[in-house]
Every structure is written in structure tokens, then in C-alpha cells.
Amino acid sequence: MNAILKEEFSALENAHRLTRPMPAALALHPHDLLDMLLNRRFGVEYQPVVDTLSGETAGYEALARFHRANGEAVPPNLVFEMLHENPLLLFHTELEAKKLQILQAPKTELLFLNLDPDSFHAGRTPGGNLFTELFRSHRCPGREIMIEVIENLHIRDVERTHAMISDFKGADIKVATDDLGVSNGLVSFGSFCDSTFIKFDRAWLTNRGNRKLAVLEWFHGMAKAAGARTVLEGVETLGDLALAHDIGFDCVQGYYFRDRFISETW
């Protein structure tokens, strides 16, 4: 494992020598990344998915977290942006992170896991896919693993997402469409129909006027008509929660419930 990471790291470092430097405040040097991966300086934050009517925690979404040797947190987006420059590093990191997220998960009916289509693509084997095998091998009574997928405007990612959903469907692994309404995203007909859950992005809660709310209600009605359960993300205030209740969302998620967040490290 370490030998593979170091080899892929060398390729990544050489690539970064040819790119322009980032501002110091935003920089993540390849050596920092290698240190985090080799020493497993990453963890997981479980954010509750809450039943809108009862207020009970219906499940948790597992989110990757990273830190330096001194304990300083590193924004996950910086880590994944760098990892995307090397598919094998991305794959190894995602696979290890998913193992942690499953093993440390609180006891709950639903566990939502994010999976990048590029990671899934890199996990292919002659006999299937390592991520599919991982999720299938960690099924347990009373808990459903729900894989969150997102499609963006690049056609390659759409194709990889469809391949990933198809593979999961064949293995009876449920999927959730994530970030419906995000500015750089799209949702295809196939993804919409195959999703057990559809999660609406927090963008719906910003600058909301009558027209935006009408579109939100329309999309929500389509999701319910398709038989999907719905989640409104980004709920931060009592007003956000009331809106979700009025529209009829099954669940909500966001910093309004930050007292229920759970953090774990490797």
C-alpha cells in the first residue's frame, strides 16, 4: 500500500512542478498530502439526517475530514482537488475513507456515503468493482447503506455515474441523488428514476423568492411522484425547517442540528 502511494505521489509531485503556485493560505503541498495518506491523518464527521415530522435522527451522512500532523484541519475540497489529478491516489484514499466511515458509523437505519464516479471507475477489477464488494460485504441487519451520487456538466462524469448506478443496482445497493439544484450540476432521467433518496442542495434556501419556491415545490413533487424520499440540505434556522415541513420533505439536514454531529478519527 505505502509503495503504491509513494509511486503515485511522485507522479503527482512532478505534475505540480509544472503548474502555477497557489496562494499560501490555500496551498496544499504534495508532501502534505502524502503525509496525511501514509499516516492516515483523516477522519469522518457524521451529520444527522433528521425526520422532518418526528425530529428523530433517521440516519447519518459520513463526510471525509483531513488534518495535518499538528492537528490543523485541511479543507476537504483542497484534498480532493489535488487527488483528482491522480486517479489511483484518489481511489486509494476513497477506499480507505469508506472503510473508516462504515466501521465507525453510529447505529442507525441509514448510512449515506459519498462516492466520486472517478474513484469508482478506478476501482474496477476483472470481476467487478472493489467499492461494490466493500459495500456488499458490510451489509448488516437494520441498516441500509445509501450511496450518494452527483452528476456534473462533464459528459464523462455523467457516463461514469450511470455505470456506477447500474453496477450498484445489480448488487441491490441503493443510491441517492445528491445536490439537486447545485449550480454546476445536472440530474439525468435515469438517475432520478433509480434513486431511493433525492437530496436537494442548500442553494434552494438562499435568495428564495416566489418563483424559486415554486420550482422547488415542482421538483419536490416530481421526486415524490417517482417514489423517492426527499431530503432538504442546508437547514440552519427554524424558518428553514418550517419551509421543509410545509413543502413536505421527508427529512432535513444541516447545521441546525450541529449538536448531533459526531466526529471520529482513524
Domain that holds residue 87: 2-265
Q: What is the pTM of this model?
A: 0.86
Amino acid 21: pLDDT: 47
Confidence of residue 152 (pLDDT cuts 50, 70, 90): low
Q: Rounded to 5 degrees, what are φ and ψ at 209?
A: -115, -175
Distance between first and last Cα of the chain: 17
Least confidently predicted of 29-38, 135-144, 227-236, 241-250: 29-38
Three-state SS string over 49-64 comes to: EEECCCCCEEEEEEEE
Distances (CA, A) of 84 to 9, 90, 184, 198: 12, 6, 17, 25
Q: Which DSSP category does 206 fall into? A: S
Name the least confident of 72-86, 149-163, 187-201.
149-163
- pLDDT at position 2 is 58
- Measuring CA to CA, which residue among 186, 191, 198, 188 is closest to residue 233? 198
Which stretch, 34-38, 132-136, 188-192, has highest mean pLDDT? 132-136
- Listed range (180-184, 238-242, 262-266) with the worst mean pLDDT: 180-184
Question: Has residue 147 got a pLDDT over 70?
Answer: yes
What are the Cα distances from residue 250, in Å, to 54, 118, 196? 10, 30, 12
HSE value, Cβ hemisphere, 13 Å, CA-based, for 209: 1
Place of cell 415524490: 224
Looking at the structure of the chain, the number of domains it has is: 1
Q: Pairing mode, if any, of strands 151-152 and 174-180?
A: unpaired
Question: What is the model's pLDDT at position 8?
Answer: 54
CA distance 5 to 37: 8
- The answer, yes or no, to whether residue 78 has pLDDT greater than 90, is no
Place of cell 438517475: 191
Percent of the chain with pLDDT over 70: 85
Overall average pLDDT of the 109-136 stretch: 92
195 pLDDT above the threshold of 50: yes
Per-residue pLDDT at 187 exceeds 80: no
Give residue 26's pLDDT band: very low, low, confident or very high (50, 70, 90): very low
At residue 29, does pLDDT exceed 60?
yes
Segment 183-190 mean pLDDT? 66
> What's the confidence (pLDDT) of residue 22?
43
CATH of the domain at 202: 3.20.20.450
Pairing assessment for the beta strands 42-51 and 262-265 based on DSSP bridges: antiparallel
